[in-house]
Every structure is written in structure tokens, then in C-alpha cells.
Structure 1
Amino acid sequence: MDQVKTTAASADGRDQVFAALAERFQDRFTRSEAVRRQHGHTTTSIANQPPEAVVFARSTQEVSEIVRICASQNVPVIPFGTGSSLEGHLNAPFGGVSIDLSGLDQIVAVNVEDQDCTVGAGVTRKTLNAHLRDTGLFFPVDPGADASIGGMTGTRASGTNAVRYGTMKDNVLGLTVVLADGEIIKTGGRARKSSTGYDLTRLFVGSEGTLGIVTEITLKLHGIPEEIAAGVCPFDSIEGACQAVIATIQCGIPVARIELLDAPQVAACNAYSKLELTETPTLFIELHGTKAYVEEQAELFGAIASEYGGGDFSWSTRPEERTKLWQARHDAYWAAQALKPGWEVLSTDACVPISRLADCVTATAEDIVASNLLAPIVGHVGDGNFHLSLLVNPEDAGMVERGKALVSRIAHRAIEMGGTCSGEHGIGQGKLKYLEHEHGKGAVDLMRRIKMAIDPAGIMNPGKMPG
């Protein structure tokens, strides 16, 4: 797909920008190679393309100042949260300045009665939930990493709880955004619904920093359930596990989490997280509600699972057991990486309509075997989303090419089944080539026109989706 052209800054113009930023921000401005490389993309096999400089911002006003200085000479700007994204979102293919938002770490307001809060973009999900613990509320969106709320907004993140509580697009009420000329705008509000104007909030949610830099987010919160039960159910086959998920969702069991791990992923988690699970395709389940309701739904799920080759469904309401189980699930990426120290991980995801889940996952598992690759499967299968941690030896060119070909086939297969090449990782650099296949030329052209209207010089995170 053609890219929105970035207006190149001259060498003198870049030097002017760096000098101005150094004077204004002093020790919070750096051109250190180590810091620059850390602010390129690290949690991916995509080559690191570091920015030319990094500035550590502490407020929306400072972000606006930085953008204005950069915009004066058409120098690109790339927002940085915690560095946990997976598709090259943080790389700087045209150079420029990385704006580190970790200093925007204030929890601005918590409105317990209205079940909402406003936080800085640098606040992480774990920090927010620790702050909320005594209020009886929690924020449910939980990607595997302890990502920043700003980064989660930019990539339209989801996670294990999405099947019940939705993704970031469902839980963001309003935003503060710095535009490409440094102007500060606010979108949305604290009301739970509105029918006024364009939905600018959702335009920026998932825009991956290509339209503006999100600095503050107003979020929906949810009540902590009376009873939480987590359980594990092994299956004879990966197809049986997927069919059990489909039946569970179609029967209307309101699972809070339902996660698939194939046999290699279970083995990896056993080794890395010190679990003792049977190394066979397995579902991790969590149910929320009253004590009686949770017990009833657990029994119903157990009956469904047994019809599809499920073994004993063991579950517990003890917090320490639930925490250990879900921490192991969140550490699945690192557990897979530990299977082959020194190898690279080609991490990818796809999402399909729930009725096609078994078809897509089974075909993918067969494809892995045929490709002679090690690629543990794990997924938020309650909403049709699954991931691969594809391990390749970087010194084996043939293996790397087989891995890239497998990633491409998965993306195209998901799209052809009515799904998407990415349920939550986003587009960035890694999946840009699939965007037109998924959305069509007309829709992508419209994305490009929106990008050009908001960022005519193309300085906002250039080289990514959609421009």
C-alpha cells in the first residue's frame, strides 16, 4: 500500500530542532545511542530503527511544546509508552524524536459513584488496578505486558478479559490529544453515551500515534465481582478445545476469560512458571458473579467440555491459585521464548468469527507441523483471537523464510474467513501489507485522506498504519 509522504526535514532543520529541545528540556533530552535504541522497537523480530533523539515529557503541555518544535521543521515524532508493542510501532524509519510518555503517570481522578477515572498516558494497567483496589472497582483490559494506558489506547488493546468486558474501544470514554501542529484537543467525556458530532474518540483509539499523541484518557471502570473462579480443563485435541469454546459462547455462558494453550505452550508454561499441567491442549477459564451463579456456570461448562473430549475441569476461588494461573498465561510469550534461548520470536495474532475458530486454529496447527517449525499457540479464544510465538533461529535463513511465510498464510487465512490479520497487536510496520486485503482499497484510501487532513506533513509516527 502506498504511504502518506513524509515531508523531509533538512539537516539544518533537524539540528535546529535538537538544539531547541536540548535547551528547553536539558537532561530530559538525549541523543545517547543506548537510549535511542531502547526507544526503537525491541519486543519483536523487526529490525530496530532508533529515533535520532528522545525527550522525556511530564505533561500534556510539554508534549505540545515538543510537537510544535518538531513541526516547525517537519521532524517526525513517535510516542513511546513502555515499549511492549509487537508490530514495529515504535521504530523511526524516517528518524525524528521519540516522546517518552512514562512521566505522564498521574491518576488524575477516580469517580467511584460514576465508575470512571482519568489517567495520564504513562500510567500502567497494574498501577491503575493497584490504586483502585480499595474502591471495589477495577479496569479489566489486560494485555499480557504491563503496558501503559496510552499505548493500549493507541493499539486498541484487549486481552484475556475482552470476551466479557470488551477492548479499549469499549472502555475509553474520552481523550486528551496533541495534534500534529501541537494543538491540544479533548474528545468525548464522562457521559456513557452521546449522539453529538463525529466520534473522534474512537478515531484516535487504535490510530497507533499516526493522527496525534494521546496524553490523558478517561476510562470506564467495573465492579469487582463477588466471586471469581478460575479453572483448567485439558482436551484430547486442539479441535475439541476450540469446539468447546464455540459451544460455550453460543450457549451464552458469560465467561470472563477463556484462553487456549496448545500442548507446546502448556509445556513452556510448566517449565517457565513452575506449573504441573498435563501437556495437552488446555483451556484456562474464569467465571465472575455470585457464589451460586459461578458454581452453576462452572458445572455447565464442565458438561459442555466433556462432550468435546475435555477431561476433569478443576477450578478454584482461592486468589493465590488464580493469580498463579493468570500470571503464567500473561508470561506465555516469555515462556515460549525460553524454549529456544538465542532464537527470535516472530509473534503474530489473528482473529476470526467464533464459528470459524476451530477451522482456523486447526488449519494453523497443521500448517505449523508442515512447515517443520516450533510455534506455540495461545489465544483469547472466547472472542476468536489467537496468537503464535513462532521461534526461529536467526542464523538459519531458510527457517526464517518459512516462519515469515507461515505468518503471511495465517493473516490471509483469517481475512478470508471473515476475520482480521490482527485482533489486538495492531498494524505498525509488521502488518501494513495486509491492510488493503482486509479493508479494501476504498477504505484504505479514506484512511489515507483522514491522515493527510489531520497530519498534512506526515510527521506523526510515519511509516505505520495508515500512513
Structure 2
Amino acid sequence: MNAPLISSRSRPSDAVIAAFTAELTNRYGAHVATSMAVREQHGHTLTWVKNQPPDVVVYPRTTQEVADIVRLCAQRNVPVVPFGTGTSLEGHINAPFGGVCIDVSLMKQIVAVHEEDLDCVVEPGVTRKELNEYLRDRGLFFPIDPGADASIGGMVSTRASGTNAVRYGTMKDVVLALTVVLPNGDIVKTASRAKKSSAGYDLTHLFIGAEGTLGIVTEITLKLNGIPEAISAGICPFPSVKAACDAVIITIQSGIPVARIELLDEVQVKAVNAHSKLSLPESPLLLLEFHGTTAGVKEQAESFGEIAAEYGGGPFEWATKPEDRSRLWQARHDAYWAARGLRPGAQSVATDVCVPISRLAECVDETKQDILESGLIAPIVGHVGDGNFHVQPLIDTENPAEVAACEAFIDRLVRRALAMEGTSTGEHGVGQKKIKYLEIEYSTQALDLMRVLKRAVDPLNIMNPGKVFAL
């Protein structure tokens, strides 16, 4: 298949942007912002990718408003960058060709909750914490937990996962249907609320993980779960990251239905202790959580304890009180900010890879050795129950030698994962920084097919240009 190249992209002229902004302001008034501070906030990225702000930011309140804005962009060939909460890590929200940022943070309606069907319908600006707060009194919860209080729309676009993925899956597993505004302004509903369907193409999953390059998600139908009868959490130190990962592999292969199993290396534990005022053992550590009945949770924990002991792990300590459990997991979610405290003033470069569970110990152990040999400060933390782990080098971006060392390390990390039949990113997404690795991860034919889809849906290349594919 010889796919035509994606349409080239350039910045709109100042005259086009001025006319476009005037028309937006005429239609949406105070919901349009052009100040540099707001624009830079929307080009902000939590990594070392340079800030590339849009020319204008608009805050729609309905699907129809999003459609009207996108239609106007298509008429004037103006780039569109969707924005949720700005927690993405690979430059997804930058605007390398300027244009308009469509910020969906005002679209926060929880449209419906169908308790008997265990699903709900939400707008994209609702965050995962807001949704779970709303659902708590109904005995339900939304299980996908990437750590940050990300917007549901953003989680769809990056195919997010997180600490609960080993038990509950990722966004691709919990989204039933989407409402999407296409690049020409058309509004499409991708599926019904049925839990399964064999009718037609699977349009829903086409947009999950597309990083805003095919359209803007404006409504999401999600699967929900009942809050478990019993939840128990604990910590288990190990003599090495390899021992901890080996214990994880056997735990998963043994079929123990652990809900969360997270790895922190000794560097990350030190950072977490300082940041969250904890006293965790400063050695490689697994944080675990079990969901189910009281008897079931007890049995799961005992089974894990036996496995851990075989690899020199222990003692396995429980966080029995709900407040202690919440504090423990909040500390895990704050790992990114905790790591930055290890080297104040340095730039954090967070990245991730994912490998088959059988290769996890080998990949993490080789990465740990690579960090030591590189002389980098780079904590490791991971959702190791599904083979996904993160590394966060801390570097002085004004030091060319450190930048080069970091870039070389990340390149080796990704290539190591790919050589082990893994992926260049388990949950962060491609964005701007990992475009080149798709050419290694996928065949030419597969990439050509992606380009055919992109060109068919977005022939003007206005939807989040400069992401996923090189122009």
C-alpha cells in the first residue's frame, strides 16, 4: 500500500489569525483568550519539549459549539489543538503550527448514570476524581487511574491506564461509545451503550489513543464497577528491582487477581519519603492493593506473601486503615513531583515503555544498570503488573553533555523495550517526542495504513498537526 503523504502544514498568516480571532470573539466573547500567559499555559508541557503556544484559546460549552469552531477552522485552514487539563507528558498539547486551542474544561456535565447497567455518560472536561466523587454514594467507581487528575476526554485521547490497569484494564477496555467532532465539523456517535456489538467497523477504538489527530471527543460512555466489599493495601520491600519484578511475574502468572501492584526503586522511595513525609524502607518496593470479599482479599494477600518470600521480599506490611491506604496511594501518585525534589532546579524528563510480563525483570534490571553507568539521576516507578514502567531522568537542560546523555539513555530504553517485543510507550502516548520510534515499532505497511486513515478523516491536516506522524 503506497499511502499519499499527509498534507503539509504551515502556520496561518497573521491576517488569517487576526480575522479568525475576531470572528471567534464575536461569537463567543469572554470565552476567547489571546493573552500570552493563557496561550503559554495551553502550550505548557510537563517535559522538556519547548513550549509552543497556540494563537488563540477558546472555551466551548457544548458539542455544537465545538463543531461550529472546528468548522470555522476547516474553512480557514487553521490548526486545532484539543486541551483537557494539560497533564500529558510527550508534547501532545503544543501548537507547533499555531492555530486555536479548544479547551474543553467548561464541558463538565455528567450527562447520565445508569446504575443498573454499570455505565455512565460524561462530557470530556470531567476529571476522573470528579467522576468518582459523584459516583461514590451510588456504590460505583470509575477504575482507570493514571495518577494525575486528568480529564476523561484527555484519557480517551491518550489511551490512558494507570495503577488499576492490571485488574480493570485501560481506557480502551472501559469506553463503550464516543461522540466526536470530525475535522470538517460533522458530529459522529461511534456506538451504542450495549456492552458488545458486531455491527460495522469499530469506530470507537479508532479515536481512543488517536491523540486528537482525528477529531475532538465531546461525550464519552464509560463502563463502571461496583465498589469492592473489601480493599486492602500493603508494602513489600525487596533486595533488588529484579527480585521485585520476578515476584510480580509469578504473581500474575499464578492468577492472583491483584488490583494494583506498583514498583518503586530505592531512588524513588527516597524521593517519596522526603516529599510525602513517609518512612518507607528505602529499598526496591512493591505497593499492592487487593479488591474483593473479606475472605478473598485475605487469601490473595497470603498467596502473594508466600511468593514474595521466595524472592527475598518482606516483611509484607498492611495499611489497614482507609486513611493510611489513601495516604500511601497519594504518595505514589505524587511520585512525579517527589522525584523532582531529588534535584531542585533540574528539568524532569518523564518517559515510559511497556514489555511482555515475562521480559519485565530483564528489562527493568538492564535499565537500572544503564542508569548507573550513565551517571544519571533517574528514578524508576511502574505499573509492573502489566509490564509498564516509567523512568524520570532529572537533568540540567543548559548542560549539553547532560542533554546528550539523557537523549541517548531514552533511545536505548525504547530500543531495549522494542527488542523485547514491547512498545515505545505503554500509556504516555507518542505526542512529539516518540514519533521516530513508530517507524521501528510498526511495519511500513502498518504506518501507511495509519496515514491513509489520517488523510481520509483529516485531509487538511488541521487536527493536532505535528503529533504521532512526522509531516
Question: Shorter chain as normaliser: what TM range?
Answer: over 0.9
- Aligned with residue 18 of structure 1, among 21, 27, 52: 21
TM norm structure 2: 0.98
Residue matched to 1:223: 226
Residue matched to 1:127: 130
Partners of 1:7 and 1:459 within 8 A in 2: no
- 2: distance between equivalents of 1:178 and 1:398? 45
The equivalences for 1:219-368 within 5 A come to: 219-368=222-371
| SS of structure 2 residue aligned to 1:445 | helix
Superposition deviation, residue 397 in structure 1: 1.3
- Aligned with residue 190 of structure 1, among 189, 193, 199: 193
- 1: distance between equivalents of 2:387 and 2:158? 18
Asked if residue 96 in structure 1 is aligned to residue 95 in structure 2, the reply is no
Superposition deviation, residue 8 in structure 1: 5.5
Identity between Structure 1 and Structure 2 (%)? 63
Partners of 1:259 and 1:381 within 8 A in 2: yes
Segment drifting more, 26-35 vs 311-320: 311-320
Superposition deviation, residue 43 in structure 1: 1.0
**Structure 1 segments unaligned to the other structure (5+ residues):** none
Residue matched to 2:38: 35
Partners of 2:108 and 2:124 within 8 A in 1: yes
- 2: distance between equivalents of 1:10 and 1:339? 44
Superposition deviation, residue 248 in structure 1: 0.3
Superposition deviation, residue 309 in structure 1: 1.3
Partners of 1:86 and 1:425 within 8 A in 2: yes
- 1: distance between equivalents of 2:415 and 2:237? 30
Superposition deviation, residue 104 in structure 1: 0.4
Partners of 2:397 and 2:403 within 8 A in 1: yes
Superposition deviation, residue 327 in structure 1: 0.4
Segment drifting more, 37-46 vs 120-129: 37-46
**Structure 2 segments unaligned to the other structure (5+ residues):** none
| SS of structure 2 residue aligned to 1:296 | helix
Asked if residue 434 in structure 1 is aligned to residue 429 in structure 2, the reply is no
| SS of structure 1 residue aligned to 2:76 | coil
- 1: distance between equivalents of 2:9 and 2:463? 9
Asked if residue 173 in structure 1 is aligned to residue 173 in structure 2, the reply is no
Partners of 1:228 and 1:294 within 8 A in 2: yes
Asked if residue 79 in structure 1 is aligned to residue 79 in structure 2, the reply is no
Partners of 1:347 and 1:388 within 8 A in 2: yes
Asked if residue 414 in structure 1 is aligned to residue 417 in structure 2, the reply is yes
- 1: distance between equivalents of 2:14 and 2:233? 57
The residue identity in structure 2 corresponding to 1:71 is A
The residue identity in structure 2 corresponding to 1:373 is L
Residue matched to 2:116: 113
Asked if residue 397 in structure 1 is aligned to residue 395 in structure 2, the reply is no
Partners of 1:4 and 1:448 within 8 A in 2: no
Aligned length: 467
| SS of structure 1 residue aligned to 2:404 | helix
The residue identity in structure 2 corresponding to 1:197 is G
Superposition deviation, residue 409 in structure 1: 0.7
TM norm structure 1: 0.98
CA RMSD, 1 decimal: 1.2
Segment drifting more, 345-354 vs 39-48: 39-48
Superposition deviation, residue 7 in structure 1: 6.3
Q: Deviations over 1:191-229 (max 9, x none)?
A: 000000100000000000000000110000001100000
Asked if residue 150 in structure 1 is aligned to residue 153 in structure 2, the reply is yes
| SS of structure 2 residue aligned to 1:188 | coil
- 1: distance between equivalents of 2:115 and 2:459? 41
- 1: distance between equivalents of 2:188 and 2:451? 21
The equivalences for 1:360-399 within 5 A come to: 360-399=363-402
Residue matched to 1:461: 464
Segment drifting more, 25-34 vs 124-133: 25-34
Partners of 1:451 and 1:466 within 8 A in 2: no
- 2: distance between equivalents of 1:232 and 1:4? 52
Superposition deviation, residue 41 in structure 1: 2.8
The residue identity in structure 2 corresponding to 1:213 is I
Partners of 1:246 and 1:355 within 8 A in 2: yes
The residue identity in structure 2 corresponding to 1:204 is F
- 2: distance between equivalents of 1:41 and 1:158? 22
- 1: distance between equivalents of 2:341 and 2:30? 37
| SS of structure 1 residue aligned to 2:190 | strand
- 1: distance between equivalents of 2:292 and 2:279? 28
The residue identity in structure 2 corresponding to 1:89 is H
Judged with a 3 Å threshold, the aligned counterparts in structure 2 of structure 1 residues 3 and 357 are, in CA distance, closer, same or farther, namely farther
Q: Deviations over 1:17-38 (max 9, x none)?
A: 1111011111111110000000
